[in-house]
Amino acid sequence: MPESGEVDLEHIHHTIEHEAHARSDNMLRWISLTTAILAAVTAVVSLQAGTTVNEALVLKSDATTLQAQASDLWAYYQAKGIKGAVAAARVTSLVAVGKPAPDSLVSQEKRYKHEQDSITTKARELEHERDAKGVEAAKLLRQHHHFAGAVALLQVSIALGAVAALTRRRSAWYVSLAAGLIGALLAAWAFFT
């Protein structure tokens, strides 16, 4: 400060500009850091979203294959039933006309019945496995939707971080942080559900 009592306005103005620039640079560093962290989190969550939907699709495909196998077995079951009914009708016809049914025909009817029981057991096992894969796929799809929502929120937070950096508005940065936090919490919730 000069001795004459005058205030050096130029020096004060320079000091204020320097401080404002330093604070602005500091804010930009924080915005850059948080945006980079949000981008990394977004990449991980996006990868997990893709993984869960892929796993769900594989399980759905497996369930469809199991359903086709079970359907084939039920068709085979019906074929055995028809053959058994034909054998039983032949036995009944022979007995009705007073002739003895050959043992091979009677055993054939029993064999078809036994084969039907075996087919029923295998078809129900396949249906049970199909249902289990369907339940797991549905769970993964729900989880995928949570991950996808988290990715959307995280991407919005990154965009808001860019807006905050361009406009140097703390309010935009705070909204960016809030959206990022909500997105990260949604992703964490999806990981544990």
pLDDT class of 193 with cuts at 50, 70, 90? confident
Contact 120, 76 (CB under 8 A): no
Q: Is the pLDDT of residue 20 over 80?
A: no
Residue-level pLDDT at 18: 56
> Using CA atoms, how far apart are residues 153 and 180, in angstroms rounded to an integer?
6
What does the pLDDT look like over 55-103, one tens digit per residue?
Answer: 999 999 999 999 999 999 999 999 999 999 999 999 999 989 999 888 8
Q: Is the pLDDT of residue 188 over 90?
A: yes
Residue-level pLDDT at 13: 46
pLDDT class of 8 with cuts at 50, 70, 90? low
Q: pTM of whole model > 0.85?
A: no
Residue-level pLDDT at 7: 46
pLDDT class of 16 with cuts at 50, 70, 90? low
Contact 42, 155 (CB under 8 A): yes
pLDDT class of 180 with cuts at 50, 70, 90? very high
- Roughly what angle, to the nearest 10 degrees, separates helices 170-191 and 9-96? 30
Closest C-alpha to 142, from 66, 70, 59, 71:
59
> Using CA atoms, how far apart are residues 21 and 39, in angstroms rounded to an integer?
26
What does the pLDDT look like over 101-157, one tens digit per residue?
Answer: 888 888 998 999 999 999 999 999 999 999 999 999 999 999 999 999 999 999 999
Q: Is the pLDDT of residue 14 over 90?
A: no
pLDDT class of 1 with cuts at 50, 70, 90? very low
> Using CA atoms, how far apart are residues 101 and 93, in angstroms rounded to an integer?
9
